[in-house]
Amino acid sequence: MADARLPQGWTLQQIRDVSGDREAGVLDPDRPVKWGSVAEGHEMPRPEIVLGFHSLCLVKPVDDVDWYMGSLYDDGSIDCWAAYGDLYEALRGL
């Protein structure tokens, strides 16, 4: 979990305030992430930042400006289905 980090310019409290989730947290980015359906998803680049919101999460891959929303599974894997151009909009979309 040493690699877990917040997005630049954001505090955990700001993330919780905008998302409305008082238990939101920063997760370890060392996990598999796919884009698309569970059966036909394509592996995404390694996450730089992963924010957890119960069974949902937001992922920012390394060298990407977009944020991806997805389902967070018990095994730690993530399946993403939506993309947002900025973190604020992604948080509001939860």
Q: Where in the sequence is the domain holding 32, given as residue range(s)?
A: 12-92
Residue 2 lies in a domain: no
Residue 31 lies in a domain: yes
What's the one-letter identity of residue 74?
D
Residue 4 lies in a domain: no
Residue 3 lies in a domain: no
What's the one-letter identity of residue 15?
I
Q: Which of 20, 18, 10 is nearest to 60 (CA)?
A: 10
Question: CA–CA separation, 15 vs 74, rounded Å?
Answer: 23
75 Cβ contact partners less than 8 Å away, ≥ 6 residues apart: none
Residue 58 lies in a domain: yes
Residue 48 lies in a domain: yes
* pLDDT tens track for 5-36: 999 999 999 999 999 999 999 999 999 999 98
The answer, as to whether pTM is greater than 0.75, is yes
What's the one-letter identity of residue 27?
L
Number of domains forming the structure of the chain: 1
Residue 6 lies in a domain: no
